[in-house]
Chain A
């Protein structure tokens, strides 16, 4: 039995989500964690677009994906700003080493 296009795209979405989860869990750098979150949001968008094909007369899935992209942009901008600010204080971008709330003297 040959798999249909939608099945392959669904498996791709699940794979992207799992890979993003794995990157968030394993990588120790904060920028890698941001990349993993982007990957997971992208997998969600892919699934929304694929499921929108089941009901092609409406555009609900596409609009949902559009607003997810909007939120992802905000998250990336604020995340990069926080990482840069933390880097200026602690001289590292590894979250494990940022373990005190007070400024270093």
Chain B
């Protein structure tokens, strides 16, 4: 077993373990921290699968941005109540049946599909260079649309969360 495969298995185990913690724990804060561990493990898997740009994006945006936002949200909805934010589970049996059924459906459909066999040769050249060139040539329309969507969502979220109207509830 070469070191790359071993590292891949370690990342897979870390992701599975952190997701199990998310499933079991009742504290929302611990669940968010476990999600950070899971996302960093998946970023490591991306890096091993020669998708370095996606790995860096995952680290910067998810682990650096989204999860900090979610921790911020947990603390803001925790402050007034003055106790740790706990969550309860309901409909556990029905949800477990649906989730395991979904898992089996995905696995069975994977087994029944035929893919081209053998390990493909990795693409030559610098991946990040190629991604930058393609992003500015082939994918420039979705790129710009995504930028506009980010701007709209930023303004909308800031307007929604801020208290610009003067009333008693805000």
Contacts and interface: CB of A to CB of B under 8 A. Distances in A.
Classify the interface of chain A: helix, strand, loop or mixed. helix
Contacts of B66: 38, 72-73, 76
Interface string A21-34: 11101111101101
B95 interface: yes
A25 to B, nearest CB: 4
B42 A46 contact: yes
Contact of B16 (A15, A78, A83, A85): A15
B70 A76 contact: yes
Interface residues of B, number: 81
Given A28-B89, A69-B62, A62 B53 contact: yes
A39 B62 CA distance: 11
A67 B142 contact: yes
A74 interface: yes
A27 B69 contact: no
A56 B123 contact: yes
Contacts of A93: 77, 85
B12 A8 contact: yes
Contact of B77 (A15, A26, A69, A84): A84
A78 B139 contact: no
Interface of A: 5, 7-12, 14-19, 21-23, 25-29, 31-32, 34-35, 38-39, 42, 45-46, 49-50, 52-57, 59, 62-63, 65-67, 69-74, 76-78, 80-85, 87-89, 91, 93, 103
Interface in B94-110: 94-96, 98-100, 102-103, 106-107, 110
A84 to B, nearest CB: 5
A35 B160 contact: no
A12 B157 contact: no
A55 B121 CA distance: 9
A33 to B, nearest CB: 10
